[in-house]
Amino acid sequence: MEPFAQFKNVQKSYDGETLVVKDFNLDISPGEFVTLLGPSGSGKTTCLMMMAGFETPTHGEILLQGSPINSLPPHKRGIGMVFQNYALFPHMSIAENLAFPLEVRGLSKAETEEKVAKALSMVQLTGFEGRRPAQLSGGQQQRVALARALVFDPKLVLMDEPLGALDKNLREEMQLEIKHIHEQLNVPMIYVTHDQAEALTMSDRIAVFNDGVVQQLATPDVLYEAPENAFVAQFVGENNRFIGDVVSLDADRCQVKVNGDSVIDCLPVAVTENGNHSTLSIRPERVVINPDEGSFPNIFEAEVKDVIYLGDHLRTRVSVCGNGDFVVKTPNAGGNGALKRGQKVRVGWSLTDCRALDA
């Protein structure tokens, strides 16, 4: 299938000295929800602005439905956008805000009214037509912004950290609502956020940005289960790290010596030869405390530093193989809350759950 929108070798520099976006490539399929995830300053918002037309690529091409749009002004692109602070026009009522994109397109009054009413009902704000944005709560304003970006049936919708200003509960509610609307309308969306949980919840695919470069572009499960480098492993989800040197390497198994004496068996992902420096990544929920002898290739002595009770699960911080900050997450299945600080335990994990990544 031909991609709906494309970034092709896009580079962006503001000062002619440094690149904020280095060789960005992304194909977006029709109806796809793609998230650009990364810490602030990683170049993700710049990419979004280039798609919207507010920034011009220094190099490379951006295509929409197959045709380049580099020199097309923003108002001719037909792209809906939701801004971080909503950007609702404060001097217009909610209905006027929603009618704005329709009016500038010269729609008839009746058609405008109908579409506005439909969009408002979609975000469950029917009856708020005459209010001013300042009279609405943050969540309601967010819905209006969303409705406004959708009301004119855009080809593509861009969202720039739209939920950043909301509190946790509301944010989660809105994530589902946006997801729901996306499924309903089946319009492709590009979503920018620095919140990995949000990205995992909502996206079809996620592009993880760091330092102007896409570190990994993959579906949420692949990103979480099989991060390709240390940055992705660290940024997406919780992660335990060891740093060491490769001492033996096969096709599907390698051994890494950490902290001078401990040797850990792991899956080679980004190591190529003996002596390579490597970062090992183990998800906390994949570690087992006091496993049966011989059940895992990796079983080590550990000392409990503290145990945090979190309701549905327990976080046990232990010191193992010289790593004093190693976290083990265990589901609260009852009867396993007996660990005490200072207690000696064994921890173990499988080979495939321990990924040997780049240094």
Partner 1 sequence: MTQNDMGQAPVLTTADGLPLKTSLMRTTRRHRIRAFLLVAPLLLFLVVAFVLPILDMLKRSIENPEVHNHMSRTVEALEGWDGESIPDEPVFAALVQDLVEGGEARTIGTVASRLNYEASGMRSLIMKTSRRAGRIEEGPYKAAVIDIDEDWADVDTWRLIERESDPFTLSYYLSAVDMRYDAEGNIVDQPDYLKIHNALFIRTFWMSAAITGLCLVLGYPIAFLLANTPLRYSNLLMILVLLPFWTSLLVRTTTWIAILQQQGVLNDLLVGIGLISTDNRLQMIYNKTGTMVAMTHILLPFMILPLYSVMKTIPPHYMHAARSLGARPFLAFRRVYFPLTIPGIGAGSILVFILSIGYYITPALVGGQSGIFITNFIAYHMQTSLNWGLAAAIASILLFVVIAFYLVYNRVIGVDNVKLG
Applying CB under 8 A, among 31, 41, 74, 164 the residue interacting with partner 1 is 74
Reduce the DSSP state of residue 22 to 3 states and report it. strand
Q: Which of 195, 197, 222, 205 is nearest to 38 (CA)?
A: 195
Whether the Cβ atoms of residue 73 and residue 53 lie closer than 8 Å to each other: yes
**Residues 28-57: x where in contact with partner 1 by CB under 8 A, - otherwise, as a string:** ------------------------xxx---
- Report how many residues bind partner 1 under the rule CB under 8 A: 26
Contact flag: residue 79 with partner 1 (CB under 8 A) = yes
* Beta carbon of residue 135, minimum distance to partner 1 (angstroms, whole number): 16
Interface with partner 1, residue 16, by CB under 8 A? no
Residues in CB range of 114: below 8 A, 6 or more apart:
none
Residues 333-352 that bind partner 1 (CB under 8 A): none
Nearest C-alpha neighbor of 145 from the set 205, 80, 204: 80
Total Cβ atoms within 10 A of residue 315:
15
Position among 90, 294, 311, 342 found at the interface with partner 1 (CB under 8 A): 90
Interface residue with partner 1 among 75, 109, 180, 341 (CB under 8 A) is: 75
Handedness of CA 258, 263, 266, 272 (dihedral sign): positive
Whole-number minimum distance, CB 169 to partner 1, in Å?
A: 25
Q: Which is nearer to partner 1, 9 or 54 (CB)?
A: 54
- Applying CB under 8 A, among 2, 91, 293, 334 the residue interacting with partner 1 is 91
Classify each residue of 83-111 as buried b or exposed e, where b means 16 or more C-beta atoms within 10 Å of its C-beta.
eeebbbeeeebbbebbbbbbeeeebeeee
Nearer to partner 1, 91 or 168 (CB): 91
Options 126-134, 148-156, 164-172, 293-301: segment touching partner 1 (CB under 8 A)? 148-156
Query: Which one of the spans 62-70, 74-82, 108-116, 300-308 is the region binding partner 1 (CB under 8 A)?
Result: 74-82
| CA-wise closest residue to 33 among 206, 226, 232 | 206
Binder of partner 1 out of 61, 89, 135, 183 (CB under 8 A)? 89
> Does 14 interact with partner 1 (rule: CB under 8 A)?
no
Distance between CA atoms of 145 and 149, rounded to whole angstroms?
A: 6
Nearest in space to 26 (alpha carbons), one of 17, 15, 37, 18: 37
Q: Give least dist CB 259 to partner 1, A.
A: 50
CB of 310 vs partner 1, minimal distance in Å:
38
Closest separation in Å from C-beta 61 to partner 1: 20
Residue labelled with tokens 């549905």: 312
Which region, left, alpha or beta, applies to residue 267 given φ > 0 means left and ψ of -120 to 50 means alpha? Answer: beta
Q: In this structure, which amino acid lies at residue 200? A: L
Side chain identity at residue 330, one-letter code: T
Which residues of this protein are in contact with partner 1, per CB under 8 A?
Answer: 52-54, 73-75, 77-81, 83-85, 87, 89-91, 100-101, 104-105, 148-149, 152, 158
